Every structure is written in C-alpha cells, then in structure tokens.
Amino acid sequence: MAIATATEVFDFMQTNDEERSPGATTLLTNLISRVTTMIEDYIGRKIEATEETTIKIHDGRYCDIRGNQLFLNNIYYDIVSITSITEDGTTLVEETDYILTDPNIIERIDGFWSNTDQLNIVIVGKFGFVQDADTPNQSIKQILIEAVSAMSGMWSKILSDGEGNTFGVQRGSLTTFTKDKLKRYIQPTIL
C-alpha cells in the first residue's frame, strides 16, 4: 500500500474537482510508486513498512557485527518488528537470546553473534522508516507528496500582478527547504 494517495497529492496542489480526472488519478498513482522508489534509493531506507520473509545476512552483508551487537544497515536499517531470528540453524528467542536496542541494533544476551561469512543469520520481520507498522513517517510522506506534485507537471499557482492581470506559474521542482529536509533522512553511517 502506498504511503500517499492521488487524492492527497491533488489536495496539496489545490487541484479543482473538474481537473481530477481518472487519467490524472492514474498518472499520480503510478508516479507515487516511482517517486517512492526514487526517495528510497536516495536515502538508502525503505519509507514504507515492508514485510520481509527471509533476510539472509552475515557480517558485511546488510549488517556489521561487533561482538554482541548486530548493526543492520542498507534497506534494513529501520526495524518495525522482528518475527524471528535464526543463527547457524538455531532459532533465537527474543528477550532471552536477543533484544532490539535501537532502530537498527540487535544485541545478543549473554553471547556473541556468529561472525561466519556464509549468510548464517536469517531474520523475518517488518522493516521501514515509519512511525509504526501502520503509519508512515509524516515528514517523508509530505516530501513524497511535494515531489510527486513537482514531477506531475500539474502543479501550478495562479498569481496576480496587482493590476488585474493573472497568470499561471508551473512548479517543477522541490523547494530548497524540502531538499534539505530530505537530506537529513539519508541513512546514517555506522562507524
């Protein structure tokens, strides 16, 4: 399910009801999907909660392991929920064998993560840069809506010159404020 709808984009652009045709709605719906992917690629994070059935990782592949801490990175940086973790064929129990301590850090309790380089850790869970499993991050959602509006070619504003003349101005890019805001969400580098 997309984190924004064509209706929300129309509302943001203040589009009249007459201009909200089925074709324009389809265009925006498709554009929402494309822009979502573009934003995810740019910031290196999933912006929708995505259920992953089997993530096979090891140190250096989607995570960095330092003793008892496993730092997830790349598109799995933001953990919404963990269904299960298996390490070297053994199913681990939450709060007995591991705990989630930060949005991307899973700590082993009374032990260390296996450092074997063979896709030996399997995680099943939900990942995404969201407020919770059902609510997208509202700031990212607003950036997405603005980006879709700019890329649609339908975002315009009617201006007046103060002498009774009006003219339309086409908006085709993100504001500097929004660009700067988006940069803040680029996946942090783990040292």
Task: Give how far the C-alpha of residue 120 lies from the chain's centroid of Cα atoms, to the nearest Å.
Answer: 26
- 83 and 101 in a common domain: yes
Which band of pLDDT confidence, cut at 50, 70 and 90, is reported for residue 32?
Answer: very high
The CA distance from 113 to 98, in Å, is 10
pLDDT digits (tens, 9 = 90+) for 38-83: 999 999 889 988 888 889 999 888 999 999 999 998 888 899 899 9
Residue 60 is part of which domain span? 50-127
pLDDT tier at 174, thresholds 50, 70, 90: confident
Report the alpha-carbon angle 140-158-13, nearest 5: 25
Question: Are 25 and 67 contained in the same domain?
Answer: no
90 pLDDT higher than 90: yes
139 and 174 share one domain: yes
pTM: 0.80
Domain membership of residue 189 (yes or no) is no
Residue 147 amino acid letter? A
Together in a domain, 103 and 145:
no
In a domain, 1, yes or no: no
